[in-house]
A and B are shown apart, each in its own frame.
Chain A
């Protein structure tokens, strides 16, 4: 039953997040903005359309979106959404699998982009991969810090149960959450790393990679992107609001937390501007540094 609930949330909830983000951005701009459920309608529309494939592409191009979504769904199976909703699959070391599944998904997208033979996609692919390479240490250091604090290498054990660790590791966790938010923004191509609303290919990082996909493929990509946002957000929300309660309260709290996360992302998108390209590595290194600092503080505490 719990697994079914977990799957249901996983499959149905994510597309809500981009809708919330867009609403927040619209509110800041003084507009009404698209409906919160817009992405659902878009996905429905795209799935019924036909796809157009360039003659220069091969099967890799067709396989890209499918592989990406598959990787993301498998990664989602490893993540608990709170103690009441343990992950359907869990084993020690699944954090590493999680990180590399995300990487595998990105790899498939990049391959598909390069397969088109267009220079725009190639440029986007190289930028995306560079930034991902810099965001990875931040992600791993944060995971390492968490693992040290909780003494386990499995997501389920790390993120479920009461988290008495807050008052012990308070400042360190705050720094970890900061680093993870930066990683989430980077991985999901949000401001300040990438502007999802730009229509100029030269300024795109992620958007330009998926430029050539259409119809159902594009639907899969959009859906996969919302799932990625959901996954990274779930980690942050569980870290920040580690409450345990009855199943209903638990689910409600978790979903509310996710909406708060989406609002925060919307806020960031509305108030900051996209950084210059040569500044992005610096801020990613800063995220790694924060994670490293947090790890140092946790280390001292753990051995105290």
Chain B
């Protein structure tokens, strides 16, 4: 039995993740993340509808994610962008096309990995684990391959989306702990990172972390 709406939400999240690999506009990357967060926020609701009733817990998750990840964090990042007055990412270390190709390879790897990890109970959708892995890897790829600090933060946030999806597997067992952990972690980390970015911009007049290379061995 397949849950089409759940599938669409998951695949859309994946597509947005891949799209963020190929874009050079920072504002676009933040927007893709925001839309992806909205898709991911729908997932707890869609999982629950399959089993019948919607618990309060699922609604809380949905609302919290929407407020924090879809509105709060992007607003915050866009403010940092405005302060720093940058619009585009220069060519990353390995080029956009190569990044896309590597990203596709990582997604294929994730799908393969997911086959190795069978779940004790059948999950709500057999796309959940592969796509969670894919988001994790796409986030890591963004962090590693990009130069602008804001894009690295977006990569970190995409990674957190993937971890959130993993946590949803345990939605019945650990209703609050893991999700709250991820949301808190995200919120505080982005807050602190935002402040650091602000300081970086003030100190260095740019937010290009590859120009932060005076510390070397």
- Which of A's residues lie within 8 Å of B, judged by CB? 167-168, 170-172, 174-175, 281-282, 285-286, 288-290, 292-293, 296-297, 299-301, 303-304
Contact = CB atoms under 8 A, between A and B. Distances in A.
9 contacts: A171-B8, A171-B12, A282-B96, A286-B22, A289-B18, A289-B100, A293-B18, A297-B127, A304-B126
Contact-residue size bin, chain B (C-beta under 8 Å from the other chain): 20 to 34
B89 to A, nearest CB: 13
Contacts of A297: 11, 127
Given A171-B12, A281-B97, A285-B97, A293 B107 contact: yes
A300 B18 contact: no
Contacts of A289: 18, 100-101, 103-104
Contacts of A293: 11, 14-15, 18, 104, 107
Contacts of A168: 2
Nearest to B7: A171
A63 B73 CA distance: 62
Contact of B111 (A170, A286, A296): A296
A300 B130 contact: yes
B8 A170 contact: yes
Nearest to A292: B104
Contacts of B2: 167-168, 301
Given A167-B2, A175-B15, A292-B104, 11 more contacts: A171-B10, A171-B11, A288-B101, A292-B107, A293-B14, A293-B18, A293-B104, A299-B111, A300-B126, A301-B126, A304-B126
Nearest to A304: B126
Contacts of B22: 282, 285-286
Interface in B60-117: 96-97, 100-101, 103-104, 107-108, 111, 114-115
Contacts of B4: 167, 170
A303 B130 CA distance: 14
Given A293-B104, A296-B107, A304-B126, A282 B97 contact: yes
A39 to B, nearest CB: 36
B58 to A, nearest CB: 22
Nearest to A291: B104
A297 B134 CA distance: 12
B123 to A, nearest CB: 11
B138 to A, nearest CB: 11
Contacts of B115: 303
Nearest to B22: A286
A144 B48 CA distance: 34
A304 B114 CA distance: 12
A174 B22 CA distance: 20
B7 to A, nearest CB: 5
Contacts of B11: 171-172, 174-175, 293, 297
Interface in B1-57: 2, 4, 7-8, 10-12, 14-15, 18-19, 22
A62 B11 CA distance: 49
Shortest 10 CB-CB distances between A and B: which pairs?
Answer: A171-B11, A289-B104, A296-B111, A292-B104, A285-B97, A285-B100, A304-B126, A282-B97, A171-B8, A171-B7
Contact of A282 (B8, B100, B114): B100
Contacts of B8: 170-171
A206 B18 CA distance: 30
